[in-house]
C-alpha cells in the first residue's frame, strides 16, 4: 500500500518507518525543511532507540521517503495519515487543532481517487466529523473516508510498541476504509494483535480514556506514596501487593515526581474540557490533573528540606532532565517545575541528561550543564535522581561521595535501596519508603 504521513515528529516518523518496515511504501512529510533535509542525510531529528537503523534500512530498500511537499505522495496514496501536533490551547487547555485542520485542507486539495484520511494525532471527539466537513467543503467531488486510528506508542519504546501493540483501534463505519486499514495492519493481524473496529467517535474517545486512566493510576500510587510516608509504610511493597491482583495489574504503579511528557498532561486537560463541554464532568480526571500539578511543584520543597530547609548558596546536582528515560523530549518534564523553583530558592543547579542537554540548554537557562554524573556530583550539597536513566542505576557511590560537598541523595525514582546508600554514609531520601 502507499502511505503519506503528514507530520514527521515522534509519532509520524516512528509510524512511517514501521509501516515501511511492514513492506508499505511511505512518504513522511513535514513543513520543517531542516528536519526533512536532515532525514534525507540520515540524521534523526529525535532520540528514539533503534530509529536510526530502522529508517536507514527502509530508505536503503526504497520504501521510505521524505518530503516537504505533500502533493505527489498524497495524490498517489491509499491512506494519508495526519500525525501533526495537538498541543494544549492557551487559555482553556483544550486541544489546539490548528495543525490538524490545516493538514486536512491541504490533503483535500491533493487527493485523487478513493483515499482514506486517517487521524493518528490525538484529537477530541468529533474532530473526524470536522475533518470530513473540511474535505467536503474544499473538494465537493472527492471520494474519501475519514478514519480515527489513535496511536498508543510510548517514547523510548516506540518501535516495539508500534510493532507489538496490545491492540490497534480503528474508528470508521466505511467498509472500503476498514479494508484499507486491515491491509495496512495485516502484519500485526497475522501476529494475532487484536484489531478493534468501532465507530469514529468511540475510537477518538478511547485514546483519551486510555491516557487519562494511566495518568490516574500513576497519581493514585503517588498519593499512596505520600500516605506511606505519613504512616510509615513502603509504597513499592504496596504497589507489588496490589499489582499482583490481575484486575489491577502491576504496570504504571511506580511512584514518581509526577507524570510529564507531551501527552498525559495535555490529554488529561483536553478530556476534562471535552467532558465539561458535554455537561458530563470527569471529576476523577480533574482531581488527577490538580494532584499531579501540585506534586510536580512540591518536589523542589523535598530537595530544599533535604538540605535542611535552606537552599541559598547550596549546590544541587540533578541527574536526568527529560520526562522519562530513552527520549530527548523535555515537554512538560517535572524538571521544568523543579529546576526553576530551586533557582528561585537560591540554589546553584548543575545537571546532566544523556540525551536532553540540547533542549535543556534553551528551556532551563541559569543552570550549569555538566558532562556526566560524576561531574554533577562535584561540589554538590545534594544529588537528585530525577529521571531513571539506566546509567544512573549503578553509580560508583564511593566516587560520588568523595566528589560531593555533603553526601545526600534524593532519589525521586526509588532506584536505589536505602541500605546500600546509607552503608556508603549518605543521607538518603526517596519516595514513599520508610
CA pair distance 27, 53, nearest whole angstrom:
17
Kindly state the number of chain residues that form the binding site for ligand NAD, as judged by CB under 6 A: 27
Q: Residue 386: name its binding partner from ligand NAD, ligand UGA, none (Cβ under 5 to 8 Å by kind).
A: none
Looking only at residues 146 through 175 of this chain, which bind ligand NAD when binding is defined by CB under 6 A? 151, 153, 155
Residue 99 touches which of ligand NAD, ligand UGA, none (Cβ within 5-8 Å per kind): ligand NAD
Residues sharing a CB contact under 8 Å with residue 256, sequence separation 6 or more, in sequence order: 218, 222, 334, 412, 413, 431
Whole-angstrom distance, CA of residue 307 vs CA of residue 298: 15
Sites for ligand UGA among residues 183-202 (CB under 6 A): none
User: Between 144 and 392, whose beta carbon lies closer to ligand UGA?
Assistant: 392
Please list the residues that pair with 145 across neighbouring strands.
116
Q: Using the CB atoms, write b or e for 402-422: b if 16+ within 10 Å.
A: ebbebbbbbbbbbbbeeeebe
Is residue 83 involved in binding ligand NAD (CB under 6 A)?
yes
Percent helix, strand and coil across the chain, each rounded to 5?
A: 45, 15, 40
Task: Give which of ligand UGA, ligand NAD, none residue 121 binds (C-beta under 5 to 8 Å, depending on kind).
Answer: ligand NAD
Angle in degrees, CA 146, 161, 205, rounded to 5: 40
| Least gap, CB of 329 to ligand NAD (angstroms) | 7
Is residue 86 a contact residue for ligand NAD (CB under 6 A)?
A: yes
Burial class (CB in 10 A: 0-12, 13-18, 19+), 41: exposed
Does the protein bind ligand NAD through residue 39 (CB under 6 A)? no
Q: Is 102 in the site for ligand NAD (CB under 6 A)?
A: yes
Burial class for 311, CB neighbours closer than 10 Å (0-12, 13-18, 19+)? buried
Contact partner, 211, from ligand UGA, ligand NAD, none, Cβ < 5-8 Å per class? ligand UGA
Catalytic (active site) residue 228: no
Select 165 or 407, whichever has its Cβ closest to ligand NAD.
165
Q: Which residues does residue 5 pair with via DSSP β-bridges, in sequence order?
A: 28, 81
By the rule CB under 6 A, 295 interacts with ligand UGA: no
The nearest distance, CB 217 to ligand UGA, in angstroms, is 8
254 binds, among ligand UGA, ligand NAD, none (CB under 5 to 8 A by kind): ligand UGA
Residue ranges of E strands in 315-405: 315-319, 348-352, 368-369, 382-385
Q: Which residues ranging from 144 to 163 are in contact with ligand UGA (CB under 6 A)?
A: 151-155
The DSSP string of 18-41 is HHHHTT-EEEEE-S-HHHHHHHHT
Which residues within the stretch 261-290 sit at the binding site for ligand UGA (CB under 6 A)? 261-264
Using CA atoms, how far apart are residues 311 and 317, in angstroms rounded to an integer?
12
If contact means CB under 5 to 8 A according to the sort of partner, which of ligand NAD, ligand UGA, none does residue 206 touch?
none
- Considering the candidates 18, 28, 228, 263, report the single residue annotated as catalytic: 263
Stretch that binds ligand UGA, among 95-103, 254-262, 273-281, 306-314 (CB under 6 A): 254-262
Figure out which of the listed residues 1, 31, 182, 297 binds ligand NAD, where binding follows CB under 6 A.
31
**Cβ neighbours, 10 Å, residue 390:** 10
Contact between residue 27 and residue 168 where contact means Cβ atoms under 8 Å apart: no
- Taking the C-alpha atoms of residue 290 and residue 286, their distance in angstroms, rounded to an integer, is 6
Q: Which residues are catalytic?
A: 263
Q: Note the residues at the interface with ligand NAD (CB under 6 A).
A: 6-12, 29-32, 35, 83-86, 99, 102-103, 106, 121-122, 151, 153, 155, 262-263
Which residue ranges make up the site for ligand UGA (CB under 6 A)? 122, 151-155, 211, 214, 218, 252-254, 256, 259-264, 323-324
Amino acid at each position: 500500500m502507499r502511505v503519506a504521513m503528514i507530520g514527521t515528529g515522534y509519532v509520524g516518523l516512528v509510524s512511517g518507518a514501521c509501516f515501511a518496515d511492514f513492506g508499505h511504501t511511505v512518504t513522511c512529510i513535514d513543513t520543517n525543511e531542516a528536519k526533512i533535509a536532515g532525514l534525507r542525510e540520515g540524521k534523526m531529528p529525535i532520540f528514539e532507540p533503534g530509529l536510526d537503523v530502522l529508517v536507514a534500512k527502509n530508505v536503503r530498500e526504497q520504501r521510505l521517503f521524505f518530503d516537504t511537499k505533500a502533493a505527489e505522495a498524497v495524490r498517489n496514496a491509499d491512506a494519508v495519515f495526519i500525525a501533526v501536533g495537538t498541543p494544549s490551547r492557551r487559555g482553556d487547555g483544550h486541544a489546539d487543532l490548528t495543525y490538524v485542520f490545516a493538514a486536512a485542507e491541504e490533503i483535500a486539495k491533493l487527493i485523487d481517487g478513493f483515499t482514506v484520511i486517517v487521524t493518528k494525532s490525538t484529537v477530541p471527539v468529533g474532530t473526524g466529523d470536522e475533518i470530513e466537513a473540511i474535505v467536503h467543503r474544499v473538494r465537493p467531488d472527492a471520494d474519501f473516508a475519514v478514519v480515527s486510528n489513535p496511536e498508543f506508542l510510548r517514547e523510548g519504546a516506540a518501535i516495539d510498541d508500534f510493532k507489538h501493540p496490545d491492540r490497534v483501534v480503528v474508528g470508521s463505519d466505511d467498509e472500503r476504509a476498514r479494508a484499507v486499514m486491515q491491509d495496512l495492519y495485516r502484519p500485526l493481524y497475522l501476529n494475532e494483535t487484536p484489531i478493534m473496529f468501532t465507530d469514529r467517535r468511540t475510537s477518538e474517545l478511547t485514546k483519551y480514556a486510555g491516557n487519562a486512566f494511566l495518568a490516574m493510576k500513576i497519581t493514585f500510587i503517588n498519593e499512596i506514596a505520600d500516605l506511606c510516608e505519613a504512616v510509615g509504610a513502603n509504597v513499592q511493597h504496596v504497589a507489588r501487593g496490589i499489582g499482583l491482583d490481575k484486575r489491577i495489574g502491576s504496570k504504571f504503579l511506580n511512584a514518581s515526581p509526577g507524570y510529564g511528557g507531551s501527552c498525559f498532561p495535555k490529554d488529561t486537560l483536553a478530556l476534562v474540557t471535552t467532558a465539561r463541554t458535554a455537561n458530563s464532568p470527569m471529576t476523577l480526571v480533574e482531581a488527577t490533573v490538580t494532584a499531579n500539578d501540585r506534586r510536580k511543584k512540591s518536589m523542589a520543597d523535598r530537595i530544599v528540606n533535604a538540605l535542611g530547609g535552606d537552599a541559598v548558596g547550596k549546590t544541587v546536582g540533578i541527574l536526568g532532565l527529560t520526562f522519562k528515560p530513552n527520549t530527548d523530549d523535555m515537554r512538560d518534564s517535572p524538571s521544568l517545575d523543579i529546576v526553576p523553583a530551586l533557582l528561585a530558592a537560591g540554589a546553584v543547579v548543575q545537571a546532566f541528561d544523556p540525551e536532553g542537554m540540547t533542549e535543556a540548554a534553551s528551556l532551563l537557562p541559569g543552570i550549569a550543564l555538566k558532562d556526566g554524573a560524576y561531574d554533577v556530583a562535584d561540589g554538590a550539597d545534594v544529588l537528585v535522581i530525577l529521571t531513571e536513566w539506566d546509567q544512573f542505576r549503578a553509580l560508583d557511590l564511593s566516587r560520588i561521595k568523595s566528589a560531593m560537598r555533603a553526601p545526600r541523595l534524593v532519589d525521586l525514582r526509588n532506584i536505589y535501596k536505602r541500605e546500600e546508600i546509607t552503608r556508603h554514609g549518605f543521607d538518603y531520601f526517596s519516595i514513599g519508603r520508610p
